[in-house]
Every structure is written in C-alpha cells, then in structure tokens.
A and B are shown apart, each in its own frame.
Chain A
Amino acid sequence: MFRKFYLLYGLLTLSTAAFGQYRGWSLDTINQLKNVPKSVRDNPGSYRSVYGGYHHYTGGK
C-alpha cells in the first residue's frame, strides 16, 4: 500500500519539480508590484523602493 502511495508521491514530486523549473519558480522571495508609474523611466526619484532608507549591515564579527 505504502509502495503505491510512494510511487504516486514520487511521480507527483518529480512532476512538480519539472513544472516549477519550466515555469521559472524561484526560492527567493521578491515583492511584486503593479501599476508602477510610467514616469519612473524619466524621473527615477518619483518611485521609492519599499526596501530603501533603512539599514543594513554595520560590520563584522
């Protein structure tokens, strides 16, 4: 019984991996936005990244 389940499970896992690779899945989490104003092209300062303005790494061990 488990063997049948595992064969099915394995095929599903491989199919998912293949589908994910084909569709371009990634393990990185990226924030997706819609309706970014066209003016950004001419005026980059009109858009502010949600990640900007806060810090980051300050130094080593």
Chain B
Amino acid sequence: MSAGAPPLSGPPKPQAKALNCPKCGAAIVLRSFGQAETVVCGSCHSILDAKDPSLAILQQFEIKTSDIRPLIPLGTRGKLRGTDYEVIGFQRRSTKVDGITYCWHEYVLFNPYKGVRYLSEYNGHWNDISICKTLPSVDSAFLNSPGASADYLGESYKHFQTSDANTDFVLGEFPWQVRVGEHAAVTDFVHPPRVLSSEKLDKEVTWSIGEYMYGQEIWDAFKLPGTPPEPMGVYENQPSPVTTSVTRIWVAFAAFAVFLLGLMAGFNMRAKKEPVFHETYHYNRAESKGEASFVTDVFELTGHPSTVEVKTHAPVDNHWIYVNYALINQDTEQAWDFGREVSYYHGYDSDGSWSEGQQNDAVVIASVPPGHYYLRIEPEADASLPGIPYTVDVTHDVPVFGIYGIAFLALLMPVVIISFRAYTFERSRWSESDHPPMQLSSMSGGSEDDE
C-alpha cells in the first residue's frame, strides 16, 4: 500500500455489469451478478439468456400498450424491512375471470447476500413476497370447495381463488426463464395479512408467501417521489380495519349484560318500594266550578335522595281525566310540578275493535331528597263526565328499569357497529373470491387477535 493512497473503508460497492443487446445494440445492465436467468432489453423487448456470455435471444415480444410503466423504476434501491434491495425486474400479469381481465404488477428485488424477493401491486394493494422455505400442506381433494385450506408454519390459510395467470409484459432481470405469454395456474390461500400462493407452470409448482403492505411503506422504503396510488376496494389478504376479535367483543358484551342483569336484580331487591301515600278522591264537575285544587296530608320520605312514583288510577271509559300535580316539600318550598292524563277509549269500526290509552298512569320523579311532602292536586275532566273517582298512590324509592334498558342499548351499540364493519369488510373481500358470500358459511373477519 502506498503511503499517499487513502485506505478503503468498508466492503467494495457492487457494480452492475454493462453489456449490449445483440438485437438492437442497446445497453443492457446486469445488476444481479449472475443470478439472473433472463434479462429483457428495454429498448427492443428481447428476452435474452443472461447465462449466455453473448446474451442469446430467447424471445422477442411486442408491447400492446405503451402505458405499462413500473411504479418503482428499475435500479431503484431501498431498505425493505431492514434489508437493502434493488429493483431488478418488473412484469405485468393478468387473469381473466368471467370475461373481465384483472392485471397486476410484480417487481423482482435483489440483494447480493439475501437473494431475491418480490413485491406485487394490484390496484394500490401491495404484497411483500418470498419463496416458501418449507412445503405447505394442502388437501387437494377439496381444493375448490369453500372449506379448502392449506397449512403453513402452523397457520391455516383459507382457499381464496384459483385462476390462470398470464405474463403480459416483462422488463429487467428474472431469476427464472421468463416468457411473455406463458400461463401459470395460480392458487391463493389467505390468512390476512398473509397470502399463500402456489404457482404451477407445466409440472413445476412454486409456493410463495406474501404479506400485505401499505403503499406508503413501499414509498418510504424506496424513497419514491409523490404519493402511492390509493388502494381500490378490498384485497384478498388486506388486514381488516376491525383488528379486534368480534367474538371476544360479543363475549365481553354478554358478560356485561349478565352483570347488568345482576345489578338490576340487586337494586330491585334493595329498593324500598315504600308506599307513603294512598287516597281515593272523587271528581265532581258541579263542585269543581269553584276552586278545584286541594292539598293532601303530609307524608315523609326518608333515606337518601331517591325516586318517587305517583300513580293515578281512574275507571274512565271513553273519557279522560287530567290531574295537575305538585309535589311540594313543606320545609324547603321546593316543588315538582307535573300533569298526568288518564284516558281510555275503545270502540268498533270497519277495521274491527280498537282501544287507546288505559285507566292507569304512573310517573317517576327523580332524586327527591328526604323530607316532609304533600301533594297539591287539581283535577280536570272531560266535559261530558259529571263525576268520577280517582286514586292517587305515592311510592318512595322505586327502581327505574328504563335505565337498564338504556345501559343495555349503550353496551350493545358498539358491538353491533364493530360487527357490521367486520361483516361488510369480509363480505367485500370474499365477493372477489371463488367463494362469494352467498356460499360463505362463516364470517372469517374478526378472527384476528387483538393488537
């Protein structure tokens, strides 16, 4: 080493090998250091044998459209999940289902130490794909049935779709003998956020495992300009926005409902339901032409602030009676003012018999403090009613079951919302599969564990 030369720091940077296309003479860059089987000339679209020093032409294809452009340009380097990769290949593939052609893109990534992995993109949905290290087990007898599944590394994957994938366009380097126009039978099994795929080409079957990625993760990894395309629809292995197990939430709801029932029973037993006043009066129209109002005897409410129920009963028959009440605290001059109607109507018409209202009415006054109380009562009645008896009952500390009803609905509402969200998401997911929701026996959404 000469004294003037600075020492090299770190390992030497990998250099791409430059060659020329034997067809058009355009520069060909080999980035994968001999790992590529084929390389595609971006200028004349010749597929060349990368293992051949003279780059023998294997196939030449014509591109049908000019709008096929990789979202991640070849040669772009980035750090994907902690490992540096360079994009060395790109292909567009398509499948035809029910007369509709669906296209997606695949990128070949290369790291000299880690080898090759892939990214796929379909309508803004991305997957990080690598070749399976062990062979998944699958029951091929039931492959296309709704319950078909595959097991890989202890996880069960549900059959999603089997289709023919066609290679439409290729660019860059590929670690296999790629050809435009070749067909492969692709079978996908899903366990969101993962997808297990088998690709059968002739007699060779390749299994790969993919994990869903968001576009922004790709953009961040490769430091791409702009923003990634917005995902459209729900993808086969897209994680559900409902990350919680719906079953567990229903179990929690059931536990809360039981507890609420216990609470209701407990408070019902504990409630005093103490009758503090009972009196029957007679409304007389002739007498009420003077001052109709009167006050009752004083009754005492004891204990903590609690409910007071005022019940009115009147044997009305196609009439009404209306009673103005004021529950007045004799000591504090505090009052609760309310009016209650008791009406009962019935009859017959062309629809048959009908009835409305009832002969009883009850109202519950909230949080009445202990003390001495009396009622001011002022009755009114139907003009055609000369007189009628009515009974007033006052009960202290009665349970209000409506509170439990509201609590029950409050507990139920989030569970219903989350279940509906999970259901609609899974429905969208499986509507694209070979087993659309009509055939779906169980909802697989929400099977994901919390966090």
Residues of A participating in the B interface, judged by any CB pair closer than 8 Å: 1-4, 6-7, 9-10, 13-14, 16-18, 20-28, 30-38, 40-41, 44-45, 47, 49-52, 55-61
Q: Are B347 and A14 in contact (CB under 8 A)?
A: no
Q: How far is the CA of A30 from the CA of B318 in the complex (A)?
A: 27
Q: Tell me if B224 counts as interface (CB < 8 A to partner A).
A: no
* B residues near A35, Cβ cutoff 8 Å: 333
The 10 A-B residue pairs with the shortest CB-CB distance, nearest first, are A60-B345, A51-B339, A26-B366, A24-B306, A49-B324, A17-B407, A44-B293, A2-B244, A26-B364, A24-B307
* B306, chain A: closest CB distance, angstroms: 4
The answer, among B335, B349, B380, for a CB contact under 8 Å with A33, is B335
Q: Are A25 and B399 in contact (CB under 8 A)?
A: no
* A residues near B443, Cβ cutoff 8 Å: none
A-B contact pairs, 11 of them (CB 8 A): A6-B249, A13-B256, A17-B260, A21-B403, A32-B335, A33-B336, A34-B335, A44-B376, A47-B376, A51-B324, A61-B347
* B256, chain A: closest CB distance, angstroms: 4
Segment at the A interface, from B71-79, B278-286, B408-416: B408-416
The answer, among A6, A21, A28, A57, for a CB contact under 8 Å with B267, is A21
The answer, among B294, B363, B364, for a CB contact under 8 Å with A44, is B294
* B residues near A34, Cβ cutoff 8 Å: 333-335
Of residues 75 to 96 in B, which have CB atoms within 8 Å of A's CB atoms? none
Q: Are B364 and A28 in contact (CB under 8 A)?
A: yes
Q: Are B252 and A56 in contact (CB under 8 A)?
A: no
- Nearest residue (CB) in A for B322 is A56
Q: How far is the CA of A9 from the CA of B304 in the complex (A)?
A: 28
* B residues near A28, Cβ cutoff 8 Å: 338, 363-366
- Nearest residue (CB) in B for A51 is B339
* B residues near A27, Cβ cutoff 8 Å: 364, 400, 402-403, 406
Q: Tell me if B138 counts as interface (CB < 8 A to partner A).
A: no
Q: Are A6 and B335 in contact (CB under 8 A)?
A: no
* B residues near A33, Cβ cutoff 8 Å: 326, 334-337
* Binary A-proximity of B290-329 (CB < 8 A = 1, otherwise 0): 0101110000000011110000000000101010111010
Q: Tell me if B43 counts as interface (CB < 8 A to partner A).
A: no
* A41, chain B: closest CB distance, angstroms: 6
Q: Are B249 and A2 in contact (CB under 8 A)?
A: yes
Q: Are A1 and B367 in contact (CB under 8 A)?
A: no
Q: Are B378 and A49 in contact (CB under 8 A)?
A: yes
- Nearest residue (CB) in B for A38 is B333
* B16, chain A: closest CB distance, angstroms: 46
* B residues near A50, Cβ cutoff 8 Å: 337
Q: How far is the CA of A33 from the CA of B335 in the complex (A)?
A: 5
* A5, chain B: closest CB distance, angstroms: 8
Q: Tell me if B404 counts as interface (CB < 8 A to partner A).
A: yes
- Nearest residue (CB) in B for A45 is B291
* A residues near B69, Cβ cutoff 8 Å: none
Q: Are B407 and A23 in contact (CB under 8 A)?
A: no
Q: How far is the CA of A13 from the CA of B409 in the complex (A)?
A: 10
Q: How far is the CA of A50 from the CA of B326 in the complex (A)?
A: 10
* B residues near A21, Cβ cutoff 8 Å: 263, 267, 399-400, 403
Q: Which of A36, A37, A38, A45: most chain B CB closer than 10 A?
A: A36
Whether A61 touches B354, Cβ cut-off 8 Å, given contacts A2-B243, A27-B403, A35-B333, is: yes
Q: Tell me if B223 counts as interface (CB < 8 A to partner A).
A: no
Q: Are A13 and B411 in contact (CB under 8 A)?
A: yes
Q: How far is the CA of A25 from the CA of B399 in the complex (A)?
A: 9
* Binary A-proximity of B211-240 (CB < 8 A = 1, otherwise 0): 000000000000000000000000000000
Q: How far is the CA of A18 from the CA of B364 in the complex (A)?
A: 17
Q: How far is the CA of A41 from the CA of B414 in the complex (A)?
A: 51
* A37, chain B: closest CB distance, angstroms: 7
Q: Tell me if B103 counts as interface (CB < 8 A to partner A).
A: no
* B66, chain A: closest CB distance, angstroms: 46
* A27, chain B: closest CB distance, angstroms: 4
